Amino acid sequence: MLTSNRFTTVVTRATADRLAKAQANNPPIAKRERDRGAVVAVQTALASLNNGYMAGSEIDGYFGSRTAAAVEAFQRDYGLVADGTVGGQVLGQLDQIFAGEAARPPHGVSLHIGVDRVDPGHYGSDLALPSCVNDAREMEGIAEQLGYDTARLENDDATCANVIGFLRNAAVNLFAGDALFFTYSGHGSQVPNDSADDEPDLQDETLVLYDRMLIDDEIYAALGEFREGVRVHMVFDSCHSATAFKQIAAPDAMDMTDVIRTEFKKDAIATVKGLPTLTLRNDLDPEMKKPIAAKSLVKALDGDAPEFDKTAEPSDDEADGIGELFADLAVKTLTGAPKFVTGAQIYDNKKEVYNAVRTAVGSKELIRPACTVTALSAAMDNQTTPAGNPLSLFTFNISRSWDSGAFPGSYTEFHRSVVGRSRADATPQLTPDGSMGSQARLHERPFAF
Q: Hey, where are the domains in the chain?
A: 5-99, 108-251+339-443, 257-335
| pLDDT tens for each residue of 135-193 | 999 999 999 999 999 999 999 999 999 999 999 999 999 998 999 999 999 999 888 87
pLDDT greater than 70 at residue 256: no
- Per residue in 118-137, pLDDT (tens digit) is 999 999 999 999 999 999 99
What does the pLDDT read at residue 253? 33
108-251+339-443 maps to CATH 3.40.50.970: no
Mean pLDDT of 377-384: 85
Over range 288-315, report the average pLDDT: 67
Closest-CA residue to 340 (of 441, 425, 227, 232): 425
pLDDT of residue 280: 39
- In this predicted structure, what is the pLDDT of residue 348? 82
Q: What share of the chain is helix, strand, coil (3-state, %, to 5)?
A: 45, 15, 40
Q: Would you list the DSSP string of 74-133?
A: HHHHTT---SS-BSHHHHHHHHHHHHSTTSPPP-EEEEEEE-S---HHHHSS----SSHH
pLDDT on residue 243: 59
* Residue bearing the bigger pLDDT, 50 or 113: 113
Instruction: Enumerate the β-bridge partners of residue 308.
Output: 292
Residue 298's SS3 state is helix
Measured CA to CA, the distance from residue 411 to residue 390 in angstroms comes to 26
Residue 347 CB contacts under 8 Å (≥ 6 apart), including other chains? 191, 192, 213, 354
Lowest pLDDT segment from 62-76, 272-286, 362-376, 377-391? 272-286
The CATH number given to 5-99 is: 1.10.101.10
What sign does the CA torsion over 82, 83, 88, 93 have? Answer: positive
Phi, psi dihedral angles at 151 (to 5 degrees): -140, 155
What pLDDT is attached to residue 260?
Answer: 55
State which H helix or E strand residue 153 sits in.
Answer: strand 149-154
Q: For 368-397, what is the mean pLDDT?
A: 91
103 pLDDT band (50/70/90 cuts)? confident
Sheet of strand 372-377: strand arrangement = 149-154, 108-114, 179-185, 231-237, 372-377, 429-434
Lowest mean pLDDT among 291-305, 352-366, 408-422: 291-305
Query: What pLDDT is attached to residue 383?
Result: 82
pLDDT, residue 317, reads: 81
pLDDT of residue 331: 59
Question: What type of residue sits at position 66?
Answer: R
What average pLDDT does the chain have? Answer: 85
Whether pLDDT at 276 is above 60: no
Q: Is beta strand 429-434 parallel, antiparallel or unpaired with respect to 179-185?
A: unpaired
Whether pTM > 0.85 for this model: the answer is no
Task: Determine if the peptide bond prior to 306 is cis (ω within 30°).
Answer: no
Asked if residues 385 and 379 have their Cβ atoms less than 8 Å apart, the reply is: yes
For residues 88 and 306, which has the higher predicted lDDT (pLDDT)? 88
